[in-house]
């Protein structure tokens, strides 16, 4: 049986895995630390610094994903002129680091209760790896650009000066795009049979948006 490592599916598997899993599901002077449940089965947290009604918040989230594609069967091998068994396999992995930052503005409602608005921006970065032949070069040609945004409104109840519980509703927005380097290769005119220099470049864009609801526990230091 011959084994052939194929890179044709590598970039598509990796991007479908990472771009659809990426959640802009951020969570949340006197120092502030918040731990939240997410709109998806993801929990998150952030740290911040509060000055009056305004809190500056930020944090870092990470995600690691992997995917593989395998195809096997029989085919005709023109090199040896015979039907052979074949197996094609691609295995890729990626790590996503997502630093984010934003602001939270509080509006007093009652002595122990306040409403607030929050706005967060994130810039994810993707690092790739592979176990198949020539896949690394294929993935390195990708120019991936990702951005995330979150706009939320919530209420926070203080049990003490240092501890509170909050509930929040909002929307997550995720924008993604990638572009490959231009490929230059020789092709043939099917009418004249003459060779010519051909150029090709692929680019993709996507966007996701979804609402969320979460509960947070906040600690002030």
Provide the CB-side half-sphere exposure for 132 (13 A, CA): 27
Each residue of 80-101: b (16+ CB within 10 Å) or e?
A: eeeeeebebbbbbbbebebebb
Q: Checking DSSP bridges between strand 195-200 and strand 113-122, what pairing results, if any? A: unpaired
| Distance from C-alpha of 17 to C-alpha of 11, rounded to nearest angstrom | 10
What DSSP assignment string belongs to 204-220? Answer: EEEEEEEEEEEEEEEEE
| pLDDT, position 17 | 52
CATH number of residue 123's parent domain: 2.40.160
| pLDDT, position 155 | 94
Each residue of 124-162: b (16+ CB within 10 Å) or e?
A: bebebebebeebeebbeebebebebbbebebbbebeeee
For 125, the token pair is: 């970065």
| pLDDT, position 213 | 87
Strand partners, 211: 171
pLDDT tens for the chain, 221 residues long, are 333 334 444 455 555 555 554 544 444 444 556 666 544 444 456 778 888 888 888 888 887 777 787 888 888 888 888 888 888 887 777 787 888 899 999 999 988 999 999 999 998 887 776 665 544 444 554 567 889 899 999 999 999 888 889 999 999 898 888 777 778 888 888 888 888 888 888 888 888 888 988 888 888 87
Domain carrying residue 190: 2-220
For 33, the token pair is: 């630390």
If one counts the domains in the chain, the total is: 1
pTM of the model: 0.65
């Amino acid at each position: 049986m011959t084994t052939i490592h194929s890179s044709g599916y590598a970039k598509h598997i990796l991007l479908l895995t990472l771009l659809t899993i990426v959640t802009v599901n951020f969570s949340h002077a006197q120092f502030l630390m918040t731990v939240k449940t997410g709109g998806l089965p993801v929990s998150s947290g952030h740290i911040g610094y509060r000055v009056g009604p305004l809190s500056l918040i930020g944090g870092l989230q990470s995600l690691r994903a992997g995917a593989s594609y395998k195809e096997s069967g029989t085919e005709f091998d023109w090199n040896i002129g015979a039907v052979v068994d074949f197996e094609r396999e691609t295995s890729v992995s990626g790590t996503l680091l997502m630093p984010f930052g934003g602001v939270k503005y509080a509006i007093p409602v009652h002595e122990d209760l306040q409403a607030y608005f929050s706005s967060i921006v994130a810039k994810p970065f993707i690092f790739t790896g592979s176990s198949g032949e020539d896949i690394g070069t294929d993935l390195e040609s990708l120019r991936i650009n990702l951005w995330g945004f979150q706009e939320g409104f919530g209420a926070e109840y203080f049990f003490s000066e240092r501890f509170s519980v909050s509930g929040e509703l909002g929307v997550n927005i995720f924008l993604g795009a990638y572009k490959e380097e231009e490929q230059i290769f020789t092709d043939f005119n099917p009418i004249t049979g003459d060779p010519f220099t051909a150029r090709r470049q692929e680019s993709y864009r996507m966007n996701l948006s979804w609402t969320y609801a979460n509960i947070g526990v906040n600690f002030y230091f």
